[in-house]
Amino acid sequence: MMNLKRIFLPFIIVFANSVFAQQEPVKTQFEGYLFAYFEGKSDPMKREHLRFATSSVGLKWKALNNNLAVISSDTISSTGGIRDPHLLRGEDKGFYLVATDMKTFKDGWDNNPGIVMMYSDNLVDWKHQVINLEKSYPKKFKNVKWVWAPQTFYDTKKGKYLVYFTVRYHHNDKLDFYAAYANKDFTGFESEPKLLFSPKYGGIDGDIIFDKGVYHFFYKGNTKDAAGKEFKNGIKVATSASLWGPWKENEGYVDSYADTSTVVEGSSIFTLNNSDEYILMYDVYAEGRYEFQRSKDLSSFTQKPESFTKNFDPRHGSIISITKEEARNLDRKWGGVMPELVQPTKKNDRYVFQSKGNPIITHHYTSDPAALVINDTLWMYTGHDFEGGQRDYVMRDWLVYSTTDMKTWTEYPVPLKVVDFEWATSKSAFAGHVAEYYWYISTNWTGIGVAVADRPEGPFKDALGKPLLTNEDCFASTHSWACIDPAIFIDDDGTPWIFWGNRECYYAKLKDNMIEIDGDVKQINFEGFSFTEAPWVHKYQGKYYLTYATEFPEKIAYAMADIIEGPYEYKGILNEIAGNSNTNHQSIVEYKGEWYFLYHNGGIQTDGGSYSRSVCIDRLEYNEDGTIKRIVMTSEGIQ
């Protein structure tokens, strides 16, 4: 008789292990951070609105929506203002946000009725509810003066969300913390709030964090003399083995300013991703600064305060970690997310977004667009100005996008970097042009190279291991950056040509292998030709069109010819100076029966400029005689 136990036992073990592996929770991969805050230095009547900012490292921040409100407070609060927003990632994958319902620049500081409670599944779409303590719980809070700085904490023992806040009454100056559990849909409380913590001398701006079996309660406290006069204040901490206390107030203060005249408030704790380090941040409100100190145990902190790098002026806020997809949702909705948070990095990762007009890409600073049509897809290859507000060309790689409708765009992982060309010691990733699938790029004074790929999105690799063209090929030039801005044109008979240059315009025939020059390098020159850079050749109804940047600041001019090598006849200005940018660089393409003009300007607000550019697209139209109508640059772009 067969031993069935011997046969089936290994199967059972393997099956059980498989089921166990499938049931193991997947750890959330956090890529960055989201900062919820209200403003401190904008128009006073617009400060107390909800704003967001993102960061990839937690220390360098960029505001969403150009630092305008992501949600206007008059749509979610009873007073028209919100302060002290606290954001929590829930245990149920939802997000909880609470804030003080108060508009001080309209109503002053004398009274506020309660708080705002908000819930979202995705950080983009929010439901809200106003909680008025005086009206909802008149027996306990009839004479309430302040309901300040609410926060939410998940009580693992109860499986509920605890909302806590500072309360002060008109008849009593003492500042105490009250709390209540939220109902299931986060629209109110299960019962009347109760006293949670009563610091000896009162406290505001509480922030609870749990670590190694201990609850830590950070808050702004103070110390008073025998006569009851405050002589010191700052960030204090209390600890407890239970969420509801009793709380033991630790001696001293944790912020570095407690023994100085500098005052701080609005403390908030968050942890750095993939790290055991805590960041205790606080609002240096009287001086308009936002600073932080570090800790690994929540008891000892670095003594020297550090400052965030940011393009906004926050007041009391909070920070959570976010995933890449959450960052992309935020960017699609409001724009302004740190580019590295949405940039695809893995082979099959893609970021799909909608163009909202010109500029068509706002999460990267892009330049020197080159278009390529393959079947029903338009591919766009761009330069990449690395940051906003740059004062020089800092360009280290190139980017690639595609569209099938001129509105929905797909971004791919970085297809090519200047370091991929070992000979390019300049480390400058200047303008390029792709002809299926060879990418001709310029590297400032080290020459023009060519990379190759087996699909339009890349990745591309150096095809030669050396430059295709250098300054030695630019026989009429004496300056070091003459060998830039390659543009490829493949004629109807399949002959490939390359055009390039700065100050002087050069061209040559390419061999069929696309990586060698076939014959002599020649120069284009004709009456009225004032060439700066950025040549581009296209063909329409049997005529050849040479467009190029002229003068400085640059406009785009064009000329026409009957054959590719000319002679060319100057036809005039095609595109005026692009807004907020000294340079211009165009490509022209026919796609699905329409002609398009791709170019760049410095239009991203507020840090766009000549070295932080942005790609735009508008329509190109011809006159009956084949000449081109002036390009109308629009903010709306392609509709």
Residues noted as catalytic: 368, 533
Structure-token pair, residue 471 = 């300054």
End-to-end CA distance of the chain: 78
Q: What distance lies between CA 208 and its chain's CA centroid?
A: 29
Spatial CB neighbours of 280, under 8 Å, sequence gap ≥ 6: 218, 235, 254, 255, 267, 268, 269, 292, 293, 294, 295, 301
DSSP annotation of 256 reads T
**Close Cβ partners of 533 (under 8 Å, ≥ 6 residues apart):** 484, 485, 501, 502, 503, 548, 549, 554, 583, 585
Alpha carbon distance 100, 151 (integer Å): 10
Spatial distance between the Cα atoms of 481 and 504, rounded to a whole number of angstroms: 11
| Run of H or E residues at 269 | strand 265-271
Say what the alpha-carbon torsion angle 38, 39, 45, 51 is, to the nearest 10 degrees. Answer: -50
| Backbone φ/ψ region at 141: left (φ over 0), alpha (ψ -120 to 50), beta | alpha
Handedness of CA 538, 540, 544, 547 (dihedral sign): negative
Can you tell me which residue has the tokens 């061209």?
Answer: 507
CA angle 402/403/409 to nearest 5° reads: 80
Give me the amino acid identity at 235.
I
User: Rounded to an integer, what distance in angstroms lies between the CA atom of residue 528 and that of residue 629?
Assistant: 19
- Note the residue count of the chain: 639
Exposed e or buried b per residue across 111-140, where buried means at least 16 C-beta atoms within 10 angstroms of its C-beta: ebbbbbbbbbeebeebebbbbbbbebbeeb
Beta-carbon contacts of 159 under 8 Å, excluding residues fewer than 6 positions away, are: none
Q: Which residues face 216 on adjacent strands?
A: 209, 239
Q: What single DSSP character describes residue 135?
A: H
Q: How would you label 403-429 residue by residue, b for 16+ Cβ within 10 Å and e otherwise?
A: beebeebbbbbbbbbbebbeebebebb
For residue 410, give the nearest of 448, 370, 456, 443 by alpha carbon: 456
- What phi, psi does 10 have (nearest 5°)? -60, -35
- Return the residue matching tokens 């338009």: 378
Across the strands, what pairs with 493?
none
Helices and strands in the chain: count of H runs, count of E runs: 7, 41
Report the alpha-carbon distance of residue 530 to residue 187 in Å, rounded.
Answer: 67
Integer-rounded Cα Rg, in Å, for the chain is 31
Give the largest Cα separation in the chain, rounded. 102
